[in-house]
């Protein structure tokens, strides 16, 4: 079993569009949307939910007024000013650090675990999909990312799938770290801009730290061909394989409006041909080791 994670240094580079298109080119696959803070792969996959489970994350302090002696110790301890003079905890201001719970002289503060979101196992036209929805302003997204990936692996093992295709979160923070650990390879989607190059290098540093091979895909490359060449130069200097370029085309937007990927919307377009070429390069890259399958052609249409 292999896992390919599609990430980017910033949001909006087109990784979800590419992940959806890759899904139509791969067989025997489990889809995973690990971008739980802003999950949107389901908009293109139209999943039919088969299992829904609550995600229990952080805790919020709650004072039991019957047991509270109003000594004021919790007011002194709380650095977030989440406790009123009436000894009521504001759930919005409470950061869930638990200091008041541990140091309350009367042990009069409960610390119940909160529901932070939901995660799902669904069916799609391209196979099983594991995805999630984090509640508004909720934290613990890294924990939810790890849970979603674990469930995707379980589904793959139970159904005999050879590949997990993961739409990862952007950036280099906790959710990204949770999304890439143990992956077979990363596809880093980058735009040809100065900031795009900078973001790619940050993600590349993160991938190098965890010793995960990075594959670079330049989206909208024709908007700045000089910067595209610079990105390719930097990628090769970092020993990252450039798996291809994809041109800027409004067909991608039209396809999203229709809830389709580019291959479903305009199969014979130049943009679709570019995506196919990138996928073929990914599958033939040494990083993916030809997916370790007996019949490589089985996963490429």
Residues 97 and 246 in one domain: no
Residue 289: the pLDDT is 64
pLDDT of residue 140: 78
Shared domain for 127 and 224, answered yes or no, is yes
251 and 286 together in one domain: yes
Domain enclosing residue 137, as ranges: 2-56+118-299
Residues 193 and 222 in one domain: yes
Structurally, how many domains does the chain consist of?
A: 2
Q: Per-residue pLDDT tens for 262-284?
A: 999 999 999 999 999 999 999 99
- 172 shares a domain with 26: yes
Instruction: Tell me the per-residue pLDDT of 178-211, one tens digit each, with 9 for 90 and over.
Output: 999 999 999 999 999 999 999 999 999 999 999 9
pTM, two decimals, is 0.87
Judgement on whether residues 147 and 13 belong to the same structural domain of the protein: yes
Residue 298 has pLDDT above 90, yes or no: no
Identify the CA nearest to 92 among candidates 102, 82, 84, 78. 82
Last residue of a domain, one of 111, 127, 142: 111
E-only strand ranges, 161-266: 163-170, 185-190, 214-219, 241-246
Same domain, yes or no: 187 and 80: no
d(CA 9, CA 191): 10
Beta pairing partners, 55: 117
Claim to verify: residue 92 and residue 204 sit in the same structural domain: no
CATH number, position 91:
3.30.70.20
pLDDT band at residue 293, thresholds of 50, 70 and 90? very low
Question: Sorting pLDDT into bands at 50, 70 and 90, what band is 27?
Answer: confident
Same-domain status, 104 and 138: no
Answer whether 22's CB lies under 8 Å from 217's CB: no
**Residues 10 and 82 both lie in one domain:** no
């Amino acid at each position: 079993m292999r896992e390919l994670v599609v990430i980017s240094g910033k949001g909006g580079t087109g990784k979800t569009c590419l992940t959806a298109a890759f899904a139509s080119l791969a067989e025997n696959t489990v889809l995973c949307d690990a971008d739980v803070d802003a999950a949107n792969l389901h908009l293109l996959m139209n999943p039919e939910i088969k299992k829904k489970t609550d995600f229990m994350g952080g805790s919020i302090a709650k004072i039991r007024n019957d047991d509270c002696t109003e000594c004021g110790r919790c007011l002194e301890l709380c650095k977030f000013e989440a406790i009123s003079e009436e000894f009521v905890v504001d759930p919005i201001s409470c950061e869930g650090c638990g200091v008041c719970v541990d140091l309350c002289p009367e042990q009069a503060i409960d610390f119940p675990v909160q529901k932070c979101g939901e995660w799902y196992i669904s069916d799609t036209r391209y196979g099983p999909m594991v995805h999630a929805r984090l509640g508004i302003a909720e934290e613990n997204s890294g924990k939810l990312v790890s849970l979603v990936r674990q469930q995707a692996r379980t589904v793959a093992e139970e159904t005999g799938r050879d590949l997990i295709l993961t739409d990862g979160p952007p950036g280099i923070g906790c959710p990204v770290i949770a999304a890439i650990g143990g992956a077979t390879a990363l596809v880093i989607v980058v735009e040809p801009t100065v900031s795009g190059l900078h973001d790619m290098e940050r993600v590349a540093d993160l991938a190098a730290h965890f010793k995960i091979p990075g594959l670079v895909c330049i989206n909208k490359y024709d908007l700045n061909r000089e910067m595209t060449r610079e990105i390719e130069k930097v990628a090769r200097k970092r020993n990252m394989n450039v798996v291809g370029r994809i041109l800027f085309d409004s067909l991608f937007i039209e396809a999203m409006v229709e809830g389709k990927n580019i291959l479903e919307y305009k199969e014979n377009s130049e943009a679709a041909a570019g995506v196919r070429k990138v996928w073929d390069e990914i599958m033939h890259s040494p990083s993916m080791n030809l997916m370790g399958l007996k019949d490589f052609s089985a996963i490429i249409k």
